[in-house]
Structure 1
């Protein structure tokens, strides 16, 4: 399982910090009480009691007070009753565990920065007034009653500063997966309890027993520092599910027998009729009953060009209406809507992905078991060989040494350094596990629209075959016919003419010829804009090299005929990014297979794949199709990276081993990803892979420095060489621990990307 502090950071920082306590009560009261009881009863009662009991009431008030009233109202208003039922009923036990663990973190653990500074204040007197593993340091002082002060401060520090680790260890043990939290908790608990025993023995029984207050204080402070460094380094702002909800409008225009009325989206039911004006977002899934328009579905389905819609065509909630006003009949809202299904896929993928285990936790798990076994064996053996006091001393020394200070900084320092380097390279790291997982990537799945291409359906080329008219004059003729049309090609052309400041001429008798194009009269001349099929039917030829230039990138080509003579061609499409071709080749050279996933049609996908040199691609995909491909690959044991920028990519970004979002993409995609390319340049993925490789190498080195010396220290601390007179002095163990911490810090600073 993922370490609990990671679960904490990822879940709670996203969800709870924005909510307003008063608004939450108000919105939750809308839910059907009977249904709420039914759904909540499915949740594991014991787990709820366990997690909720941890919540500090004062902290909860503090956190909940941060919730933004307006934001909560905005988000909750979009959920209708049916959607809420759907979401609550689908919470399974494992997902509830994941969410509640995050809640427990924010409520119970508070702010790591605050905990670190307050713990440091408590730790400084302990460090000054108590010896290090029995060894008096030059700066240490004592006075009558200083040992009592140390006891009080250490007790406060143990329960306040050590609380996150104790709570995390409890959860790890409940999940039967001890890792970093359990190892730290074992170290600080043994150090504190044994030091209490030492205090009682020294003061009331007048027997000298070494204490570990110094180790307790420094261990807690350094571990809190490590967590704080990691939290600062890794950005987890945002919430993909919230951004999905924001795609739908707050209010809609409902049509009734008495006319139009503005209502809240949550009041809309299937079968009702809504009016959607030009430029509005589609509030729900539906079927057009009146009007025609062009709909921009690029953010939802990945289709780069606008889709022409007429009576009887389906529309998707969250897509953007073009320049036509339409009436739709609602076919899906709440749980039955398209976006709700995408939200559920993202939620399930994120819950599944949270089970990934990182390198530090694997090391900590093995170290915990090794230390536990070695410590118990040492106690049993020394109990027979010597006495109880010696046996306890050996066992405690093993436990304390097994949790070296350097281990708490080994990974956070690397993460902080690599995050800083990544930012300079145009990379935003949102999940530090991505750096570890990226070194094992076998396939990179690339969304076409917006990732390999610019993501906009626009004019990509123009060729003037006329020797008499200038480019601007010919473009003016094209605009004369397209000005009155309502389809994606016309929109793209007119936008281009506007950018070029072309004067559009006046056309007469403009007619739309089905399956061919447009025809009309300009200044007494017959004009037509036709497709390639019509050109061939009229037996008009075009130089093959001219057509090929645009066709190889999947462009749509329109031809201008004046009095049945070819005058010009204009190409429209989603232009391939200049760096895409070299990027694909670079991936292949690294032994990584690039695969293109797109919602575009088969012809466009095949053309782009051929142009880029891709051997594999999938076309006409919906979000569930992309997510299914990624899910199947991961189930087959493949390590895959998914690169995308749209809402339709969000579930697959969340599901992939590493999700990489294009910075110019939707907020939903960005919040579902582990890495964001802030420059929207696919070549930055290569730099990310290079950084991941170097980061992994440094992590392994630091873990060896931070924990590797235990291979020798633990057996020596247990007394394995005692028969020949060699026993590890606790003071020597402390020196080794301090030395490894310094080496870990210096090694982290040497991390860099090899050019």
Structure 2
């Protein structure tokens, strides 16, 4: 895997300047994409502060509600005074153009995309209400003896309730961060560049160009993709590739920007600049996957689209039929307007947001942060769950998996004290794993003197007059030390990294470090299978290590040694066959797959880039939370469908009645009755949303 990985990454680099440039280029586009993902209404996420719009619109609406009649019916709390109709006209005009602006702009986008949905339906309702009411105002002033009913009351309540629904949903769904910004943060701000005379200068990363020589010391972040000119080291690429194993790097090998250098000092030549960098390429994959995934349509958008077409057809038909039958233009016009307004019930604007708000609150209590509301709808009928190995099924960090004594003169505790003495002040991942192990065992290491890093080899020091080293396999071979294959074979098969303790250049012990399976992972896999969902493991790790984990967890389908683009491609293959998929991961290499899958789930302890690319975040890093999310999603979708029936279902009866289908037998739906039905359905959807529960609550 390493050779393949290194070969492909040649000629790439990335800089903070590039990332910032890319972020600027994609910013508007990404906000639009994300808005479309969440729902048709969410086209307008970037069109203003909905909280502010709601409160200001409510202030404008309150006088209208108290002064203007509801569909021609004076309510008990309403009053009028001289010139009150002019006040209503002014306030309604401000309200229509200010509070209604997000819906009008959203409708424009939907119609431009030839996909009318919720925004178009709302825009039709408020536009017809406003312009017909202005017409009614003019007619009532020109012909006082012939009263024309206005819809200012409906306009005010419709805008306020729709803004409220939008605000509730926005408040419930956490805003996605900018993954490009997080990607840039993986790289250092300054680097050590070598000049022609061999001296070092500290420069900003954005000043680095192709062919520059950089000096990277132990523990430094590698600032750019490049080729090693001199030196050797072990590099931790897990943050980028997802493989929890130090990769040995020698002269001529390539390194990836964003990885962390180990104990050696290396000099590299930058092999590329700009958008050809590895991290930048990963983000291009994320952007592309997001763009294509944004085509997912929410259930409320589908309902709104049908309502829009039905209302448009029925309304225009009613106008023509009434005009032909009665010859009364005013009456025909009124029937059409009534149909258009009744077709946009207030309840529909709250039906989904209230369920989403309730669902996300429940989810947060259970360690689930939902960033994309479509995830709650798409989680039904899942067929495959793709699981990254490192950090998802395993702990994702170096842990001591075993220690073997190679010289019976020393006990295991003594060996660990020697190893701990040398690794106590080191800053690479292996050292951290060893010191955590000693802490758990409450072992206090010896004190070492004359500590020195051995470039690309390990570390050495003096303890009680003895020369002590902790070295890698390469150094053991160089010293021609004989160690039985049986002592290390089991560890190597599991993909572990082995370090050797040498005392006076003689082997004393070996210590193996690797990734360990999360304790709840096995039960989680069985739970998925009980739900008739097939688990598939995707990993950048080597085949031997992947097979061992898959066998232990009883995962039949797994793919190893995958690069980020290969993971994303594998997910796309399943999607192209019509399958609903979920991807669960925590690393940068998972980001494109998280963005591509029907639902992307990020482990909260993972990288910010993965979190920003996902639809759902597991804050507790417990894979079993995925089962809880699937259960919540099913309960949520059931409530959504129920609310949509209550919120829009009555239109099956109300629209034909408003059009006058029963006029031949003397029955025409009174607009006031339609308004009462609207109010009743609003109360029902609100009450129904609050009954949402998750198992175990």
Give the TM-score taking structure 1 as reference length.
0.80
Which residue in 1 is equivalent to 2:377? 436
Query: In structure 1, how many angstroms separate the alpha carbons of the residues matched to 2:359 and 2:515?
Result: 34
Which residue in 1 is equivalent to 2:661? 720
1:327 is aligned to 2:272: no
Which of 442, 445, 450 is the matching residue for 1:503?
A: 445
CA gap of 1:209–1:598, structure 2 versus 1, over 3 A, is same
Specify the SS of the correspondent of 2:271.
strand
- Give 5+ residue unaligned stretches, structure 2: 1-13
Q: For 1:359-374, list aligned pairs within 5 A.
A: 359-374=299-314
Which residue in 1 is equivalent to 2:521? 580
Shift of 1:468: 8.7
CA shift digits 1:589-617 (9 cap, x unpaired)? 10111111111111100000001110011
Which residue in 1 is equivalent to 2:692? 751
Which residue in 1 is equivalent to 2:128? 190
Which residue in 2 is equivalent to 1:225? 164
Specify the SS of the correspondent of 2:358.
helix
Query: In structure 1, how many angstroms separate the alpha carbons of the residues matched to 2:158 and 2:649?
Result: 18
Which residue in 2 is equivalent to 1:264? 204
Query: In structure 2, how many angstroms separate the alpha carbons of the residues matched to 1:273 and 1:650?
Result: 30
Which residue in 2 is equivalent to 1:351? 291
Any conservation in 2 of the 1:179–1:362 contact (CA below 8 Å)? Answer: yes
Query: In structure 1, how many angstroms separate the alpha carbons of the residues matched to 2:27 and 2:181?
Result: 20
Which residue in 2 is equivalent to 1:40? none
Which of 700, 710, 721 is the matching residue for 2:641?
A: 700
Which residue in 2 is equivalent to 1:145? 83
Which of 202, 211, 224 is the matching residue for 2:140?
A: 202
Shift of 1:566: 11
Query: In structure 2, how many angstroms separate the alpha carbons of the residues matched to 1:688 and 1:547?
Result: 40
CA gap of 1:479–1:397, structure 2 versus 1, over 3 A, is closer
Query: In structure 2, how many angstroms separate the alpha carbons of the residues matched to 1:188 and 1:200?
Result: 18
CA gap of 1:477–1:141, structure 2 versus 1, over 3 A, is closer
Which of 311, 314, 331 is the matching residue for 1:390?
A: 331
1:288 is aligned to 2:242: no
1:240 is aligned to 2:182: no
Greater mean alpha carbon deviation, residues 675-684 or residues 459-468 = 459-468
CA gap of 1:273–1:416, structure 2 versus 1, over 3 A, is same
CA gap of 1:154–1:482, structure 2 versus 1, over 3 A, is closer
CA shift digits 1:464-500 (9 cap, x unpaired)? 7999965422434666899999997677446644764
1:644 is aligned to 2:582: no
CA gap of 1:210–1:314, structure 2 versus 1, over 3 A, is same
Any conservation in 2 of the 1:477–1:522 contact (CA below 8 Å)? Answer: no
1:309 is aligned to 2:258: no
Which residue in 2 is equivalent to 1:172? 110
Query: In structure 2, how many angstroms separate the alpha carbons of the residues matched to 1:236 and 1:217?
Result: 29
Query: In structure 2, how many angstroms separate the alpha carbons of the residues matched to 1:403 and 1:634?
Result: 35
Specify the SS of the correspondent of 1:455.
coil
Which residue in 1 is equivalent to 2:604? 663
CA gap of 1:485–1:299, structure 2 versus 1, over 3 A, is closer
1:211 is aligned to 2:153: no
Query: In structure 2, how many angstroms separate the alpha carbons of the residues matched to 1:80 and 1:539?
Result: 50
Which of 96, 104, 122 is the matching residue for 1:158?
A: 96
Which residue in 2 is equivalent to 1:684? 625
CA shift digits 1:131-182 (9 cap, x unpaired)? 1111111111111211121111111111111111111111111111100000
Query: In structure 1, how many angstroms separate the alpha carbons of the residues matched to 2:485 and 2:289?
Result: 53
Query: In structure 1, how many angstroms separate the alpha carbons of the residues matched to 2:472 and 2:105?
Result: 70
Shift of 1:336: 1.6
Specify the SS of the correspondent of 1:439.
coil
Query: In structure 2, how many angstroms separate the alpha carbons of the residues matched to 1:602 and 1:462?
Result: 24
Specify the SS of the correspondent of 1:595.
strand
Query: In structure 1, how many angstroms separate the alpha carbons of the residues matched to 2:186 and 2:675?
Result: 56
1:253 is aligned to 2:189: no
Greater mean alpha carbon deviation, residues 134-143 or residues 580-589 = 134-143
Shift of 1:639: 1.2
Give the aligned length.
667
CA gap of 1:99–1:693, structure 2 versus 1, over 3 A, is closer
Specify the SS of the correspondent of 2:555.
coil
Shift of 1:552: 8.7
1:418 is aligned to 2:418: no
Query: In structure 1, how many angstroms separate the alpha carbons of the residues matched to 2:545 and 2:180?
Result: 31
Which residue in 1 is equivalent to 2:10? none
Any conservation in 1 of the 2:654–2:674 contact (CA below 8 Å)? Answer: yes
Query: In structure 2, how many angstroms separate the alpha carbons of the residues matched to 1:592 and 1:99?
Result: 27
CA shift digits 1:684-729 (9 cap, x unpaired)? 1111111100000000000000001001111111111111222111
CA gap of 1:148–1:630, structure 2 versus 1, over 3 A, is same
CA shift digits 1:377-399 (9 cap, x unpaired)? 11110101111121111111110
Shift of 1:433: 1.0
Query: In structure 2, how many angstroms separate the alpha carbons of the residues matched to 1:685 and 1:523?
Result: 55
CA gap of 1:427–1:334, structure 2 versus 1, over 3 A, is same
Any conservation in 1 of the 2:225–2:277 contact (CA below 8 Å)? Answer: yes
Which of 584, 593, 596 is the matching residue for 2:534?
A: 593
Which of 133, 137, 141 is the matching residue for 2:71?
A: 133
Query: In structure 2, how many angstroms separate the alpha carbons of the residues matched to 1:366 and 1:392?
Result: 22
Specify the SS of the correspondent of 2:362.
helix
Which of 530, 540, 550 is the matching residue for 1:609?
A: 550
Which residue in 2 is equivalent to 1:381? 321
CA gap of 1:540–1:484, structure 2 versus 1, over 3 A, is farther
Specify the SS of the correspondent of 2:218.
coil
Any conservation in 1 of the 2:15–2:184 contact (CA below 8 Å)? Answer: no
Q: Answer 1 or 2: higher relative contact order, Cα 8 Å, separation at least 6.
A: 2
Query: In structure 2, how many angstroms separate the alpha carbons of the residues matched to 1:362 and 1:230?
Result: 18
CA gap of 1:314–1:129, structure 2 versus 1, over 3 A, is same
Shift of 1:312: 1.4
Any conservation in 1 of the 2:190–2:204 contact (CA below 8 Å)? Answer: yes
1:275 is aligned to 2:209: no
Query: In structure 2, how many angstroms separate the alpha carbons of the residues matched to 1:249 and 1:506?
Result: 32
Shift of 1:261: 1.6
Any conservation in 1 of the 2:494–2:544 contact (CA below 8 Å)? Answer: no
Which residue in 1 is equivalent to 2:11? none
Shift of 1:638: 1.7
Which residue in 2 is equivalent to 1:65? none
Specify the SS of the correspondent of 1:137.
coil
Greater mean alpha carbon deviation, residues 201-210 or residues 155-164 = 201-210
Which residue in 2 is equivalent to 1:337? 277
1:459 is aligned to 2:397: no
Which residue in 2 is equivalent to 1:62? none
CA gap of 1:301–1:733, structure 2 versus 1, over 3 A, is same
Specify the SS of the correspondent of 1:575.
coil
Greater mean alpha carbon deviation, residues 580-589 or residues 716-725 = 716-725
Shift of 1:299: 0.8
Shift of 1:748: 0.4
Q: For 1:724-735, list aligned pairs within 5 A.
A: 724-735=665-676
CA gap of 1:526–1:170, structure 2 versus 1, over 3 A, is closer
Which residue in 2 is equivalent to 1:629? 570
CA gap of 1:250–1:525, structure 2 versus 1, over 3 A, is closer
CA shift digits 1:332-379 (9 cap, x unpaired)? 221121111112111212222222211111110010000000000111
Shift of 1:562: 11
Q: What RMSD, in angstroms, separates the aligned Cα atoms of the two structures?
A: 3.9
Any conservation in 1 of the 2:43–2:109 contact (CA below 8 Å)? Answer: no
